[in-house]
Amino acid sequence: MVTDRQETTHAVEAASVMKLLSARPRLLALGEPTHGEDTLLDLRNELFRQLVEQEGYRTIAIESDCIRGLIVDDYVTSGTGTLDEVMEHGFSHGWGASAANRELVRWMRAHNDGRSAPEQLRFAGFDGPLEITGAASPRQALTALHGYLSSRVDAGLLPCTAETLDRLLGADDRWTEPAAMMDPTRSVGKSAEANELRLLADDLVALLDEQTPHLIAATSREDRDRARLYGRTATGLLLYHSWMADTGPSRMTRLVGLRDRMMADNLLAVAERGPALVHAHNGHLQREKSTMRMSGRPLEWWSAGALVSAHLGEEYAFLATALGTIRHQGVDTPAPDTVEGLLYALPEDRYVVDARRLATALGDTRPAPRVSPWFGYAPLDPAHLADSDGLVFVKDVPRS
């Protein structure tokens, strides 16, 4: 049984979350243990709404394509496009089909209506243009970066022309070949053209940095921030494709690590803009190493949350979400000797848990790790209970 319950569990609301923290963090991250459940996303929406209105958070960043996310940001800040268009084109991983994500975007647009730019709520995708099955062509990021620089600096400083980039990039389907994830010989990531593009991308990013004083005077911060986003996305994608073409034993470990490094870079850029709320899978936001099995092999790497925490220290806070059941996926009542089982025995349907106080209360009686019968749900690791700043517990997750 959970002891000191009055001190350990609280209602799921902004005030309860902030009581767990010594000060308002620059990045406040909420994880989830499974994807695609609108019950969890509805809870996220309500908690984030309260944190925006009561604590002054000004950006919401989610685990979605950072380039596509610009479409959502344009809509919520200026009304560009329609809600239907934004949901179709502004999200990766199929997240645009979620009713809860649609409601989040609708609310953000309504919140911003009539507010000045400094008071507006911003949206950001912080994942790379990556899917489990592959990666996007670097064309969009590279050509956007080149276009930004070519219109603002002397042509003689550019390492190449737009025509050279186009020739080296070739057809986009070379980069998005679905078979390349499982068969590195199908990837173009180590071709002569790809290697030359990596050098050119590095040159373009260096030029962007070198010209910072001029660009501050000549362009808006918004345009500069987008150019930096294009630069880190282009270099990140080209490195990711290079490792997709690698045949060594560390290939998959590097790929999952590179993805989270790209996430971390995007989150650090978001943090420069001001206080932000972050939502993604627990495995991308936790402070300890992330683990998974792929093709029967164990993988271990540092998550985006671990990397950001190393940079920001107490300016980064992480709440993991844990749950009791997802019966429509075969995840039934947790065993009583697990963390989830202990929390499931409490009467409330959902609450915020002081994770460190709970770990102290449990003492040396470490709960057993829960084993999920479904690959799409990742239970808590009881050994790292105190590594999060708190838990959000949801007793039952019905079918969306």
Q: Is residue 34 part of a domain?
A: yes
Q: Is residue 334 part of a domain?
A: yes
Given a contact cutoff of 8 angstroms between Cβ atoms, the answer to whether 69 and 77 are in contact is no
Q: CA quadruple 219, 263, 242, 182: dihedral positive or negative? A: negative
Query: Above 70 in pLDDT, residue 2?
Result: no
What is the dihedral angle through the alpha carbons of 328, 334, 340, 342, rounded to the nearest 10 degrees?
140
Residue 303 has φ and ψ, to the nearest 5°, of -75, 170
**How many Cβ atoms are within 10 Å of 224's Cβ, its own excluded?**
18
Whether residues 139 and 249 fall in one domain? yes
Using DSSP's 3-state secondary structure scheme, residue 337 falls into coil
Query: Above 70 in pLDDT, residue 265?
Result: yes
Given a contact cutoff of 8 angstroms between Cβ atoms, the answer to whether 68 and 89 are in contact is yes
Q: Which whole number is the average pLDDT over 102-127?
A: 97
Domain span at 313: 1-57+275-397
Mean pLDDT (the chain, rounded): 96
Whether residues 255 and 296 fall in one domain? no
Query: Above 70 in pLDDT, residue 1?
Result: no
Share of the chain above pLDDT 70, in %: 98
Amino acid (one-letter) located at 73 = D
The pTM (predicted TM-score) of the whole model is 0.96
Q: Is residue 268 part of a domain?
A: no
Q: DSSP letters along 229-286, please?
A: HHHHHHHHHHHHHHHHT--STTHHHHHHHHHHHHHHHHHHHHHHHS-EEEEEEHHHH-
Q: DSSP letters along 338-390, please?
A: BHHHHHHTSS-SEEEE-HHHHHHHHTT-PPBPP--SSTT-----GGGGGGSSE
Q: Is residue 84 part of a domain?
A: no
Whether residues 151 and 253 fall in one domain? yes
pLDDT in tens, 46-105: 999 999 999 999 999 999 999 999 999 999 999 999 999 999 999 999 999 999 999 999
pLDDT in tens, 268-324: 999 999 999 999 999 999 999 999 887 778 999 999 999 999 999 999 999 999 999
pLDDT in tens, 363-384: 888 899 999 999 999 999 999 9
Helix (H) or strand (E) holding 77: helix 69-78
Burial (CB < 10 A; 0-12, 13-18, 19+), residue 388, is buried
pLDDT in tens, 161-215: 999 999 999 999 999 999 999 999 999 999 999 999 999 999 999 999 999 999 9
Strands (E), the chain: 9-10, 27-32, 59-65, 122-127, 130-131, 134-135, 276-281, 290-294, 297-301, 316-325, 350-353, 390-396
- The pLDDT score that the predictor gives to residue 366 is 84
* Count of domains observed in the chain: 2
Q: Is residue 270 part of a domain?
A: no
Q: Which whole number is the average pLDDT over 104-126?
A: 97
What does the chain come to in residues?
A: 400
Of 233, 260, 287, which closes a domain? Answer: 260
**How many Cβ atoms are within 10 Å of 396's Cβ, its own excluded?**
14
Whether residues 297 and 331 fall in one domain? yes
- The pLDDT score that the predictor gives to residue 297 is 84
CATH code assigned at 354: 3.40.1660.10
Whether residues 152 and 48 fall in one domain? no
Q: Which whole number is the average pLDDT over 351-365?
A: 92
Amino acid (one-letter) located at 389 = D
Of 212, 236, 260, which closes a domain? Answer: 260
Whether residues 250 and 347 fall in one domain? no
Whether residues 235 and 312 fall in one domain? no
Whether residues 332 and 373 fall in one domain? yes
Q: Is residue 110 part of a domain?
A: no
Q: Which of 205, 66, 72 is nearest to 136 (CA)?
A: 66
Whether residues 256 and 151 fall in one domain? yes
Helices 99-112 and 69-78 meet at what angle, rounded to 10?
40
Q: Which whole number is the average pLDDT over 10-33?
A: 96
Q: Is residue 83 part of a domain?
A: no
Whether residues 236 and 282 fall in one domain? no
Q: Which of 44, 46, 26 is nearest to 320 (CA)?
A: 44
For the beta sheet containing 350-353, the strands, ordered from the edge strand earlier in sequence to the opposite edge, are: 9-10, 350-353, 390-396, 316-325, 27-32, 276-281, 59-65, 122-127
Whether residues 309 and 218 fall in one domain? no
Whether residues 51 and 161 fall in one domain? no
Of 204, 228, 260, which closes a domain? Answer: 260
Helix (H) or strand (E) holding 313: none
Q: Is residue 347 part of a domain?
A: yes
